Structure 1
């Protein structure tokens, strides 16, 4: 067990010191692009101003014979663009794959000073984070990387769900977690092929009616328990929870509802698998202007966060002040990136 006094010490001589607090960043959506697809890569420049995070995907959806091309393509894309306020991430292959080691060593050597976050698939325990943590420190030292690379874990195995709290607290490199429903379904042997969202066969049936009439049925969310558990683990360790993917690209209405559920439960963003989902994520993960304006009233009425105030006929106290501060702080991040929202928020 690492002593608390050593938790924030670099794991290699010459590596940058770990962050004590995560850098402030707006991350309403993580927009994926396949590293091996030249046609899609050519559009990354257009996507940078639109997306909060651009992620080069090297893992799932990349054929085995295109893994090296995806890695090269990501490196070329990283070198070719100035990402400005947009985060640059990559999803590497899992630790048990034959491509993972080259993913890390080549990317850190070539563009380590441009990459913000390494997304690690199929994390099963703190030991996976510890391994990548040490390896990144060694590579940072070797290549004179100026800031620590962060780790974002994907929760997509039953064992990972079991160990989610230990994963969240495994390293100061931990940026956050995303729910990976497709692989998690396979790991659990669940009877679904859906990627995120509810399932028509998973629901609650109304009690029998006295008149013998048809009973109401409500579809439920297969992922609610796991999702809530992940959010608690992240928030209690001051790292960021994300919804992950919504696979039905055509069903924008259901996508928006799933994203909204995630936002209300505490998530800061979700994955975007298609440009159309970027606008949905912006809409959902940006606070509602009316709620922001009301939150600003609370903060103005209770500048030090103590006491009680009546605003528009509703009682406000220190608990609602904290809720209001979360809302306004997020609104300020959105306003700094989006002029239309800045106007709506009166910021």
Structure 2
């Protein structure tokens, strides 16, 4: 067991000091692109200004024959593209693959300070984070980096969900977690072939009509991921890191995508993955507070003064708990407005 005093000491001689608080930058959408595809690489300078996070994907979706090309594409972007305010992330291959070590080595030694976060898939316990933590410290020392790279883990197995609190607290590098619904569904032996979203078979049904047992009964589709997202959010908040919903696979069903993103937003997630340009706008809208809510939050905070006591506002009781909720909305709105002039005007901030 490590002493608490050691937690914020570098894990390698010459490595940068670990951060003590996760830096929050707008990350409403983590937009994935395949860096092995030349056509997509050429579009990066145009896509980058439209998203909060641009992620070079080296893992799932990249054929084994293209792994080295994907790694080279990541380095090309890191070394040649001006990202401006947009964060550059990469998802490396899983720790049990033959490519992960080379991914991490190239990302640190060649991507260097251009990279903000390394996403690690299929994390099952704190030991996975400990391995990555130590290795990154050694590589950072070798590269002479002055700021530590952050780590983002994906929950894709039942064991990972069972260990989620320990994963969140495994390292000061932990930036956040994403839900990986497809791999998690397979690992749990869930009977769905969908990538995120609900399922028409997962439902509740109204009681039968006592006067007509054969009358139609209304059904309501339920959210397969409610429990997992809620648990992930609690674990992240407990450790001061950020929760994200992952992918929504049906690109054509923008309505259901928006619904799933909004469910995650309301439960506490700060963003979601976008797999196609059509999902960028959905994430930007959903994970930005509604202007009506921002205006209401401003009124409540102004009316409550020092935040104690209670009052009636528009027929509703507002008290210190209301102020805390409103400050969450206003803080997010202010952070987004500082990067987005259109939002600043809309929010009047």
**TMscore range, shorter length:** over 0.9
TM-score of the aligned structures, taking structure 2 as reference length: 0.97
2:322 corresponds to: 320
2:296 corresponds to: 294
Gaps of 5+ in 2: none
Aligned-partner Cα distance in 2 for 1:180–1:26: 21
Residues 1:35 and 2:46 aligned together: no
Aligned-partner Cα distance in 2 for 1:204–1:299: 39
Residues 1:63 and 2:68 aligned together: no
1:260 corresponds to: 262
1:214 corresponds to: 216
In the TM superposition, 1:181-260 aligns within 5 A as 181-210=181-210, 211-212=212-213, 213-260=215-262
The alpha-carbon deviation at position 315 of structure 1 amounts to 2.1
Q: Residues 250-302 of structure 1, C-alpha deviation per residue, up to 9 Å, x if partnerless? A: 00000000000000000000000001101000110000001101111122223
The alpha-carbon deviation at position 67 of structure 1 amounts to 0.5
Q: Residues 51-90 of structure 1, C-alpha deviation per residue, up to 9 Å, x if partnerless? A: 0000000000000110110000111011111112111100
Structure 1 SS opposite 2:98: coil
Runs of 4+ in 1 over 3 A off after TM superposition: none
The alpha-carbon deviation at position 313 of structure 1 amounts to 2.7
Aligned-partner Cα distance in 1 for 2:139–2:51: 29
The alpha-carbon deviation at position 306 of structure 1 amounts to 2.3
Gaps of 5+ in 1: none
In the TM superposition, 1:84-163 aligns within 5 A as 84-163=84-163
2:3 corresponds to: 3
Moved more, 311-320 or 93-102: 311-320
Aligned-partner Cα distance in 1 for 2:218–2:312: 40
Structure 1 SS opposite 2:248: coil
1:53 corresponds to: 53
1:307 corresponds to: 309
Q: 1:3 to 1:248 in 2, by over 3 A?
A: same
Residues 1:280 and 2:316 aligned together: no
The alpha-carbon deviation at position 184 of structure 1 amounts to 0.6
Aligned-partner Cα distance in 2 for 1:206–1:245: 31
Aligned-partner Cα distance in 1 for 2:190–2:316: 45
Aligned-partner Cα distance in 1 for 2:188–2:12: 37
TM-align CA RMSD: 1.0
Aligned-partner Cα distance in 2 for 1:107–1:164: 26
The number of equivalent residue pairs is: 347
